[in-house]
Structure 1
Amino acid sequence: MRLALAVLMIVLPQRLKHLLARHVLKWDVDPTAYIGRSLVMVRKVTLGPGSSIGPMNIIRDLEELRLGEGASIATRNRIAGIPLASTVFQKPNRNPSLVLGDYAMITVAHELDCSDLIELKEYAVVAGFRCSILTHNLNLVKDRFESKPVVLGARSVVMSNCTLLSSSVPDRSIISAGSVVTTPLTTNLTLYRGNPAEAVRSLPESLKFFHRVGLQAQIADEVAALKKETLQGEV
């Protein structure tokens, strides 16, 4: 039944998607949120005002998916958790969820392992293409899988083809394309680069990326474009 409802959500027009989401699946979906043609198999979903899930995403086996105001997941992303009932992990308080703060964004063709929590604070961005974010690892000493949350700080950005391994990114920092983050980074306003990623230089607080406001119009344009694409496909 769960899979059938998820597939039905893909093909329904937007208005009926909202009705099914709110009244059958019991999701908390703002009337201005947009749900594209994506497979979403998540128990608890909250979509804030102006938030959007674009087409061709696969989002499954999460305890919770939460998008704040204006937050967005663009297209062709694979986001998967491991249910709490699984015996793979022994951690009692694991939280296989994805949380996007206000105006946070996941762009195109990324892989997110939500064995534990992945959280993007407000205005944080997983940018470009083909980033991998992993919240689990194999402890070779104990010969067992372990999990740890990954948090992207407010107004931080992870560029194309980066890998984050059970690590976090500080506020207003940039992870250069192709970098591998294996340990938690701690210094704000810093450019990190390399494998493993290391601090390269400080960043000016005046960088415009760190002061973005009023993204409502941009998000509205993106949602309108996605709606147009969906409506054309339904004709």
Structure 2
Amino acid sequence: MMKVVRPVLQLAALLLPWRLRRQFLVKLLGWDIHPRASIGLAFLDVDMLVMGARSRIGHFTYARHVAKITLGTGAVIGRQNWISGFPVGSNVAFADCGRNPTLVVGDEAAITNGHRIDCTDGIHIGAFTTVAGWATQFVTHSIEVRSARQRCAPIVIGKYCFIGTRSILLKGAALPDYSVLGAGSTLAHAYAEPYGLYSGVPATRQKNLDSTYVYFTRQSGPCW
């Protein structure tokens, strides 16, 4: 029943002052929203939302059919992001995938504006990482041509990473800590070696990066 009325409750609370809206969402939906967190004019039809201190979600971000979204301390999801998935048990195509439709944005990490995020399976974005620019796609599911079946796998992004604008990250991809994914690249593999520039279609390791770069050693939050 709650899943049916949740969108109605959110719409009813949308024009309340944030302090009152936060109390409304915490008490009626059971979400865990820190008093110092904030949500703009966003529509979030998710089972659970956890927001740490100073975290925020921008205007016109839309999320639906995601089991849980977690934002760490100082984490940001910007404006006009589209986050979607399939609820567990709702689609026979993914019945045997053992998936976890969640999004985790680590401490001081940022997803900027206008990205598309498919949480059919889990996505983990590490602390101090930036999903920069706009129009980057995270795609955790696709059709496996050999078996003509839908398959999914999580995407894992390490800490202190930088993802350039208009990148595509496919199911099972992993970007290691302290790494850069070049603009317009397609990450289709799980890499493990840190301090690297990965770019191309498909993305491969192009060169090593110096561990002393300020981006990799900073203690402040999003750089945008």
Normalising by structure 2, we get a TM-score of: 0.93
Long gaps (5+) in structure 2:
none
Measure, in 1, the Cα distance between the counterparts of 2:191 and 2:137: 17
The 3-state SS of whatever aligns with 1:16 is helix
Q: Which amino acid in the other structure matches residue 199 of structure 2?
A: R
**Which of 6, 16, 20 is residue 12 of structure 1 equivalent to?**
16
For residue 8 of structure 1, report the CA deviation from its aligned partner.
2.6
Measure, in 2, the Cα distance between the counterparts of 1:158 and 1:178: 9
CA-to-aligned-CA distance 1:42-66 (integer Å, 9 cap, x gap) = 1111000110001010011110011
Normalising by structure 1, we get a TM-score of: 0.89
CA contact (8 A) 1:182 1:197 kept: yes
Measure, in 2, the Cα distance between the counterparts of 1:148 and 1:9: 35
Q: Which amino acid in the other structure matches residue 90 of structure 1?
A: A
The 3-state SS of whatever aligns with 2:150 is strand
CA-to-aligned-CA distance 1:108-165 (integer Å, 9 cap, x gap) = 1000000000011111111111100111121111111111010110111111000011
Q: Which amino acid in the other structure matches residue 204 of structure 1?
A: D
Residue in 2 that maps onto 1:197? 203
The 3-state SS of whatever aligns with 1:59 is strand
Aligned residues: 218
Measure, in 2, the Cα distance between the counterparts of 1:19 and 1:152: 32
**Which of 139, 142, 148 is residue 143 of structure 1 equivalent to?**
148
The 3-state SS of whatever aligns with 2:131 is strand
Measure, in 2, the Cα distance between the counterparts of 1:199 and 1:20: 47
CA contact (8 A) 1:17 1:35 kept: no
Would you tell me which structure has more helix in proportion to its own residues? 1
Distance 1:29 1:173, change over 3 A: same
**Which of 79, 104, 107 is residue 83 of structure 2 equivalent to?**
79
For residue 92 of structure 1, report the CA deviation from its aligned partner.
5.0
The 3-state SS of whatever aligns with 1:15 is helix
Residue in 1 that maps onto 2:181? 175
CA-to-aligned-CA distance 1:144-191 (integer Å, 9 cap, x gap) = 111101011011111100001111111000000000111112221000
CA contact (8 A) 1:32 1:50 kept: yes
Measure, in 2, the Cα distance between the counterparts of 1:115 and 1:91: 13
1:21 aligns with 2:25: yes
